[in-house]
Amino acid sequence: MDKKIILAIESSCDETAAAVVVNGREVLSNVISSQIDIHTKFGGVVPEVASRKHIEAINAVVTEALEEAKVSLEEIDAIGVTYGPGLVGALLVGLQYAKGLAYSLNKPLIGVNHIEGHISANFIEHKELKPPFVCLVVSGGHTFIVHVKDFGEYEVIGQTRDDAAGEAYDKVARALGLGYPGGPKIDKLAKEGNENAIKFPRANFHDDSLDFSFSGVKSAVLNYLNKMSMTGEEVNKADVAASFQKAVVDVLTDNVMLTCKRKSVKRVAIAGGVASNSALRANLIKEGKKRGIEILFPAPILCTDNAAMIGSAAYFEMLNGLSSNLDLNAKPNLKLGER
Ligand code: KG4
Ligand code: ZN
């Protein structure tokens, strides 16, 4: 296929983002307007506030993405947009904007699954990367191990049964008084702590399952902090951060390595906000090396919510001959592989 330019829009949570991507791999612009400062005041994302802020930002963000890419609307081949999973009001802002553009320009609309977007960030970072590979998607809302069999063909091998990994980071950080978003703060503080200081539990399912559960370790941290406060003992926050992080990273790594073994795959890509975590990266590399498994991760700007990853996923959908109708609706609980 010749050169295809996609304008992509992402608004599923608290980032309003637009990007221009060529052939799914080359990013001409990647503009992200973050609402973190506003949500920090509330200790987490407030859905109604998120929708309103997306409405305020979207036009400027799309305009900036086009200007930075030096591409006009007429030169765009298709418009890619996240339509799920995510916050319904937030998704609708980006989706309605994209539909309006597609209709007025008479260009194809390509609805993209946000998780598929996270996975596709790896196609931007690693220009030669092709399936099959195993992808660990770890973000504030999702925790999945996916066997990427082909472009657009996914098998979910394991997922969280309760909290997402990033959610656990955020809740533990809040209990430690570190602020929101907690992941990067715990990552940093843990470097000064002893990861073996406190033994926090790892969820173990007795059924061969590669699912995750992070609410147990989160509650264990909260109970530990309560107990310390009741007995008047001083808490070493760095030790708590390091020990909690070890519990999370151990189980993520174990399940990824088991997936590779079961599927006979030697390549792992990670994705999502938590993929920026330094301990997770280091541990995956260490365990991967022992088994001859290559570990790939995108640059932090492609790990966090962004629209370039949506533009990449949209391109491969387009290559598969897929596009969406203008009656496409937001799907807050959209599953991976569902159309
Ligand atoms: O992918 P993302 O930007 O948004 C969602 O789709 O959720 O992920 C945000 C999540 C937050 O929970 C944040 O605390 C976490 O990713 N995160 C991290 C790190 N950087 C971001 N968690 C652990 N270590 C990090 N370095
Ligand atoms: Zn995300």
Residue 170 is labelled as binding a ligand: yes
The b/e string for 209-231 (b: 16+ C-beta within 10 A; e otherwise) is ebbbbbebbbebbeebbeeeeee
pLDDT of residue 34: 82
d(Cα 266, Cα 120) in Å, to the nearest integer?
Answer: 18
> How is the chain split into domains, by residue range?
5-121+304-319, 128-301
Q: Can you point out the beta strands (E) in 70-225? A: 78-84, 109-113, 133-138, 143-150, 153-159
User: Going edge to edge, which strands form the sheet with 109-113?
Assistant: 26-34, 15-22, 5-10, 78-84, 109-113
The answer to whether 79 touches 40, Cβ cutoff 8 Å, is: no
* Distance (Å, whole) CA 237 – CA 225: 10
Residue 139 marked ligand-binding: yes
Same CATH fold assignment for domains 5-121+304-319 and 128-301: yes
Token pair recorded at residue 297: 């991760």
Ligand 1 centre to CA of 165 (Å) is 9
Residue 104 β-bridge partners: none
Calculate how far, in angstroms, residue 218's C-alpha sits from the geometric centre of ligand 1: 16
pLDDT score of 51: 83
Task: Extract the tokens encoding 166.
Answer: 């990033």
Supply the pTM of this predicted model.
0.94
CA angle at 169 for the pair 166 and 171, rounded to the nearest 5°? 110
Class of domain 5-121+304-319: alpha beta
Query: What are the pocket residues of ligand 1 if the criterion is a CB atom closer than 6 Å to any ligand atom?
Result: 13, 139-141, 166, 169-170, 181-184, 187, 272-274, 276-277, 304-305
**Can you give the pLDDT at residue 208?**
86
| pLDDT at residue 204, rounded to an integer | 75
Q: Given this model, what pLDDT does residue 222 score? A: 96
* For ligand 1, mutation pick of 114, 169, 176 (most atoms within 8 Å of CB): 169
Is 126 flagged in the annotation as binding? no
pLDDT for the residue 193: 97
How many Å apart are CA 336 and CA 155, to the nearest integer? 8
Domain 128-301 carries which CATH code?
A: 3.30.420.40
Report the C-alpha gap between 149 and 207 in whole angstroms: 24
Full pLDDT tens readout for the chain, 339 residues:
589 999 999 999 888 999 999 999 999 999 998 877 776 777 677 788 778 889 999 999 999 999 999 999 999 999 999 999 999 999 999 999 999 999 999 999 999 999 999 999 999 999 999 999 999 999 998 999 999 999 999 999 999 999 999 999 999 999 999 988 899 999 999 999 999 999 999 887 877 899 999 999 999 999 999 999 999 999 999 999 999 999 999 999 999 999 999 999 999 999 999 999 999 999 999 999 999 999 999 999 999 999 999 999 999 999 999 999 999 999 999 999 887
Task: Looking at the CA of residue 305, tell me the nearest atom of ligand 1.
Answer: 3
Among residues 101, 58, 96, 93, the alpha carbon closest in space to that of 77 is found at 101
Report the C-alpha gap between 117 and 10 in whole angstroms. 10
